Chains A and B, each alone.
Chain A
């Protein structure tokens, strides 16, 4: 399997062991028993373990962290969409004129979107799951944490919890982040689990630690449209931005940067351009950092002097791989002996069927499409903007910047 291939690469590059740290059978059985007692629904607070000791059946604490907001299928894209879908939609919008008409023939949904756009409003139903990263996952009323793990480990970022039958309503949604937070609090109750979490990342079977050149990345001098296309085509929601000269990790661009105010522009709180950990960071630290920064993934950078100078090629700089919330939860899913654990499935599926058409070529006038990546419009928040002819391409380097106004209509020939 590909994991074995990565093993052989990693043994020349880092000190990753060939045998990964695992939890003892006795420990993992104990944890599994506890996790099976915790229901995904529920509205109590984080002290649910105390209640467990008193013998009462647990209603898992606030694992539901978002209510269900029903949106009419006819609501427009801007009002309703998830960021990945918006990115896919906008990427498509910006590159649509490059798609040959015969490519469109095989994509009826895309044609529908085009037709709707001509009328001036695109209903969200057409764009829903355009990125193919937002499948609807539903669990029943009495689902447990273990069942949540099973769904999330297959790549879903949120799970809908049904109400008790015969109601056809939904109680709410549980996000992967909430589930991760639950596991950090479980570690405060179970010392053996905390010890397991104290393992450094390099000793755990995380699938994306040593990707090197496979980390989806753009160079600092690429333009933002390239980044959007890359995210859409590769089925990822964040890409790394690396320095031109040495390939070191500089910052990151994410689908959630669409329509967002630059960090710090209203509260003065500047953020670090990219969130990362090292292979020697503990799993516990990594989980805490994922939660503190409210991000879905951290890049793994290896600045140690022991890295081999000859392989892999030095253009990878210090960027070694990524570790995501789903990767971590998949680890726990394996501990719980769940079958079919594959956190990378969703991305591979997405990559295989890119909606924007991967065959469109990068022509030279793409450089004039350069945009600020983290964008906010003065006039209508939530709309992407591009500078029109202000000399020179805008590069990804300055990924936290303000926006010039832009007219989509000007960008695309009639």
Chain B
């Protein structure tokens, strides 16, 4: 697959997949099972953490349930995959300095030790710290925090502090789960937990990756563009690489993947945790020749064609 061509094959390259293995596209089952097979075969070379789509409720709505029904005639495979999802870790740390999570931070969690203490072997709740880690987004518009106390309120929903300013710099997410958080919160978390970078996925990045808040947090967006398992090239160096992966073969009979003219990327970390972003196109091979900065200047394209003249209405009579 394109992803492995660009980043190098496993096990020569270490991989960390930041969730969203299923839903949308047509090959969720195959994608997830491939990753599981790699995990079984090379447990030390590949890490999978949970995304918001690794959930019974979300997969029923966004396509994975239907795909399993279609391919296996019953909901068993879906149910077993969901049981595996329950065991996925909520986050990961690379060499003690890069913290990886699918979504973002939570007002209830200040320390990474608190994340370790969460009982994660359950369906993703619709609110609370476990949900927040998988659903939150960094937001450049968020109001700064008044840092008289470092800790966010224990339970945001019950706290109302009288006074003029916005409560704590955490905003409710328009997604309906998780929170929006700004630069202050991000930097404070990084400082408090002695990490250099938060790597996360969950949002589309037009250029494949997006650094924010003085490079304390990066969104990495990768789409696996092809169902064909191409020959994998070997690489001499052992590297750690980060990706987020969503099953993404386009098909017009299932839920479409976002088609915005974006590119995808893999964040590669070398032995000194130096960052390199490998960008690759998600379109067929004609786009690949332009794997240069020029790709990033393409405007997002709205795929819907807008007819010049609206055709006559097709009524029910």
* Interface residues in chain A, defined as those with a beta carbon under 8 Å from any beta carbon in chain B: 76, 78, 93-94, 96, 114, 117-118, 120-122, 188-189, 191, 194-195, 197-198, 200, 220, 243, 250-251, 261-262, 264-276, 280-282, 284-285, 288-289, 291-295, 301, 376, 378-381, 383, 390, 397-402, 404, 407-409, 411-412, 414
> Which of B175, B302, B307, B314 makes the CB contact (< 8 A) with A270?
B175
* Interface residues in chain B, defined as those with a beta carbon under 8 Å from any beta carbon in chain A: 52-53, 57-58, 60-63, 65-66, 126, 135, 156-158, 160, 162-166, 171-177, 203-204, 221, 252-260, 262, 302-304, 307, 310-317
**A117-B316, A276-B126, A412-B317 given as contacts; is B176 within 8 A of A250 (CB)?**
no
- Would you list the 6 A-B pairs with minimal beta carbon distance, nearest first? A268-B204, A191-B162, A272-B176, A292-B172, A198-B160, A268-B258
Q: Residue of B at shortest CB range from A404?
A: B253
Other contacts beyond A266-B258, A292-B176, A301-B126: 14, CB < 8 A? A194-B160, A198-B158, A251-B57, A265-B256, A266-B259, A380-B310, A398-B60, A398-B62, A401-B63, A402-B255, A402-B256, A407-B314, A412-B316, A412-B317
Cβ contact within 8 Å between A189 and B164: yes
Q: Which residues of B contact A264 (CB under 8 A)?
A: 258
> Which of B156, B162, B173, B259 makes the CB contact (< 8 A) with A194?
B162
Cβ contact within 8 Å between B63 and A281: no
**A380–B306 alpha-carbon span in the complex (Å):** 8
**A280–B158 alpha-carbon span in the complex (Å):** 8
* A117 smallest CB distance to B (angstroms): 4
Q: Which residues of A contact B252 (CB under 8 A)?
A: 378, 402
Cβ contact within 8 Å between B61 and A398: yes
Q: Can you list 14 A-B pairs, Cβ within 8 angstroms, ordered by A?
A: A78-B313, A197-B160, A268-B221, A272-B126, A282-B158, A285-B172, A289-B172, A379-B307, A398-B61, A399-B61, A400-B62, A408-B314, A409-B315, A411-B316
* B222 smallest CB distance to A (angstroms): 12
Q: Which residues of A contact B313 (CB under 8 A)?
A: 76, 78, 120-122
**A272–B311 alpha-carbon span in the complex (Å):** 35
Q: Which residues of A contact B65 (CB under 8 A)?
A: 397-398
For the residues of A in contact with B, the DSSP-based class is loop
Cβ contact within 8 Å between A269 and B317: no
Q: Which residues of B contact A281 (CB under 8 A)?
A: 157
Q: Residue of B at shortest CB range from A116?
A: B315
Q: Which residues of A contact B316 (CB under 8 A)?
A: 93-94, 96, 117, 408-409, 411-412
> Which of A191, A276, A397 makes the CB contact (< 8 A) with B60?
A397
Q: Which residues of A contact B58 (CB under 8 A)?
A: 270, 273
Q: Which residues of B contact A220 (CB under 8 A)?
A: 60
* A81 smallest CB distance to B (angstroms): 13
* B30 smallest CB distance to A (angstroms): 19
**A200–B253 alpha-carbon span in the complex (Å):** 44
Q: Residue of B at shortest CB range from A381?
A: B304
> Which of A118, A191, A250, A288 makes the CB contact (< 8 A) with B317?
A118
Q: Which residues of B contact A76 (CB under 8 A)?
A: 313
**A293–B158 alpha-carbon span in the complex (Å):** 19
Cβ contact within 8 Å between A267 and B176: no
* A184 smallest CB distance to B (angstroms): 11
* B175 smallest CB distance to A (angstroms): 5
**A88–B203 alpha-carbon span in the complex (Å):** 35
**A408–B254 alpha-carbon span in the complex (Å):** 22
Cβ contact within 8 Å between A117 and B60: no
Q: Residue of A at shortest CB range from B205?
A: A268
Q: Residue of B at shortest CB range from A411?
A: B316
**A268-B204, A270-B62 given as contacts; is B255 within 8 A of A400 (CB)?**
yes
Q: Which of B52, B58, B160 has the most CB of A within 10 A?
A: B160
**A78–B313 alpha-carbon span in the complex (Å):** 9
Cβ contact within 8 Å between B312 and A274: no
* B149 smallest CB distance to A (angstroms): 19
Q: Which residues of A contact B60 (CB under 8 A)?
A: 220, 243, 250-251, 397-398
**A289–B175 alpha-carbon span in the complex (Å):** 10
**A411–B66 alpha-carbon span in the complex (Å):** 25
Q: Which of B52, B162, B176, B262 has the most CB of A within 10 A?
A: B176
**A397–B61 alpha-carbon span in the complex (Å):** 6
Q: Which residues of A contact B257 (CB under 8 A)?
A: 265
Cβ contact within 8 Å between A284 and B175: no
Cβ contact within 8 Å between A262 and B310: no
**A118-B317, A380-B307 given as contacts; is B172 within 8 A of A397 (CB)?**
no
Q: Residue of B at shortest CB range from A408?
A: B316
Q: Which of A194, A289, A398, A402 has the most CB of B within 10 A?
A: A398
Cβ contact within 8 Å between A284 and B204: no
**A271–B175 alpha-carbon span in the complex (Å):** 4
**A380–B126 alpha-carbon span in the complex (Å):** 35
Cβ contact within 8 Å between B302 and A266: yes
Q: Which residues of A contact B162 (CB under 8 A)?
A: 191, 194-195
**A265–B250 alpha-carbon span in the complex (Å):** 12
**A379–B314 alpha-carbon span in the complex (Å):** 13
**A73–B307 alpha-carbon span in the complex (Å):** 24
Q: Which residues of A contact B303 (CB under 8 A)?
A: 266
**A272-B126, A273-B61 given as contacts; is B255 within 8 A of A401 (CB)?**
yes
Cβ contact within 8 Å between B203 and A272: no
**A293–B116 alpha-carbon span in the complex (Å):** 30
> Which of A114, A195, A274, A407 makes the CB contact (< 8 A) with B160?
A195
Cβ contact within 8 Å between A285 and B315: no
* B283 smallest CB distance to A (angstroms): 16
**A117–B60 alpha-carbon span in the complex (Å):** 37
